[in-house]
Structure 1
């Protein structure tokens, strides 16, 4: 691979890292469709392996940035990680058994449904009433979040999110963030930060499965500059998140999902 290709992948990684961290999605939902278009000869397993490696790098860098802001609900995140790991491992293994001609439309449909669900959701979170489940999270800058998360439901959802995210190489944030906001009662900014924390571990589980199956070997030359780029772009996304209201983050996520999903379906 030539120098221009390395630079191109690096710049793509910066964009994916910034956008993925901004909305807590890890960037895989942007990267995997691009890889499908650029590399029509590669199998779904190879491309999802590359994407999950990049998502892992992005989520790790983003988690460090959000951790410095004290925006991550670590207790909830650890529960979701433990619940999501079996699904993430199974999803990465199952990718090998999906033909590419099926993979593209499946990914497109999931992205469109995710975008539609966000657009049609009537509210961004539940009204908090005092209870034993109420939590208070204070960020480094003094911003206070009071919420009552549904941890048990979140754990159940995390297993399915882990499976689909590894199966499609999208990382899971596009599914996890809306679920955390609309179903589990998390504030948007806490959801994006905590989702990134969870993604780092679930994506790593998927990467390990792909590595042991040999899926990553053909993709390291692309994955390394992409990963370097997302590490550079993640702090930019975290910085932007302080300057964009939560509802605009969700609207941007919904629009991006629907656009990318439609493009995948049209391409078939």
Structure 2
């Protein structure tokens, strides 16, 4: 009974935080389950591959639940999300393949530092101008106050940047949202609410492909899903609800701290490896 309660609350926390800032939730599920598995006997012995594979299945639930909630607020940019997925999908597959040949622990330290630097860039984002490249993709969004925000970006640049993000996420085993949300805000001028909602839509798409891969590899532990998914589904609804109540600046502050946590985790992971 204790195990099911624990899994439910892990899923709830992952869904809430992941949906709130567009990071998915894997950054909560994977390290927490690794710690629980290592230091307690509450769960059957799990391999890291099973934890990662099961986490990706939970991301399908978080991504779908969040997307449905953000759809009601009309803050998901489907066309941009599909465009970014064109790059991030193949990139993630390539990154997972490259993972076999590269000493990831060594690079984790540098990438962790990079993530912390991205969080610092978000502090000064108002002084930065979005990239201006020919062949612009024009989009608009009307916020809850009825104010229309227009943003434009290059479709080619979007696919290239999302491909790089996909490779990095596949290589280091982190959610693509960790970099895609800052990229949408800093490089392409997305309103923060739209960036978060669109990121969750992308995470839903990419986690489906990831699930099929891990299913084929036999990396999914079904008993974990029975506990994690109900909590994750409810948490994703809570996260998207909270997101709509907060200002863009508040969401960016939370996002910055989450990136710092991810960065520190990668640095620690690299030094421990």
Interval containing the TM-score (normalised by the shorter chain): 0.7 to 0.9
Equivalent position to 1:50, from 54, 58, 61: 54
Q: CA deviation at 1:257?
A: 2.7
Shift of 1:64: 0.7
Structure 1 position 126 matched with structure 2 position 124: no
> 1:70 touches 1:140 (CA, 8 Å); kept in 2?
no
SS state at 1:184 partner: coil
1:16 deviates by 1.0
Q: Which deviations, in whole Å up to 9, do the C-alpha atoms of 1:47-67 show, x marking residues without a partner?
A: 221221122211111011111
Alignment-derived partner of residue 252 in structure 1: 254
Compared CA separation, residues 209 and 220, structure 1 to 2 (3 A): same
The answer for the alignment partner of 1:158 in structure 2 is 162
Taking a change above 3 Å as real, the CA distance of residues 147 and 111 of structure 1, as seen in their structure-2 partners, is: same
Deviates more, 1:27-36 or 1:70-79: 27-36
Q: What's the counterpart of residue 6 of structure 1?
A: 4
Cα offset, 1:133, TM superposition = 4.1
The verdict on how the C-alpha distance between 1:203 and 1:112 changes in structure 2, with shifts beyond 3 A counting, is: farther
More deviation, 255-264/43-52: 255-264
> Are the counterparts in 1 of residues 112 and 267 from structure 2 also a CA contact under 8 Å?
no
Determine which of 183, 195, 198 is the counterpart of 1:194.
198
1:221 and 1:111 map into 2 onto residues whose CA distance is: 32
Post-superposition CA distance 1:13-65 (Å, at most 9, x none): 11111111110111112222222322346444222212211222111110111
> What is the Cα-based RMSD across aligned positions, in Å?
2.8
Separation (CA, whole Å) in 1 of partners of 2:266 and 2:189: 32
Distance 1:257 1:225 in 2: 27
Question: 227-236 or 145-154, which moves further after superposition?
Answer: 145-154
Give the structure-1-normalised TM-score.
Answer: 0.84
Secondary structure at 1:234 match in 2: helix
1:80 aligns with 2:84: yes
Aligned pairs for 1:16-95 (under 5 A) are 16-40=14-38, 42-92=46-96
Question: Is the 8 Å Cα contact of residues 138 and 144 (structure 1) preserved in structure 2?
Answer: yes
TM-superposed CA distance for 1:85, in Å, is 1.7
Inter-CA distance 92–44: structure 2 relative to 1 (3 Å threshold)? farther
1:243 to 238, 242, 245: 245
* Distance in 2 separating the partners of 1:110 and 1:29: 15
- Deviation of 1:165 (Å): 2.6
Deviation at 1:233, TM superposition (A): 0.8
CA spacing shift, 1:123–1:140, aligned 2, 3 Å: closer
Deviation of residue 160 (structure 1)? Answer: 2.4
Q: Which residue of 2 aligns with 1:114?
A: 115
Partner SS for 2:153: coil
Unaligned 5+ residue runs, structure 1? none
Task: Measure, in 2, the Cα distance between the counterparts of 1:7 and 1:150.
Answer: 46
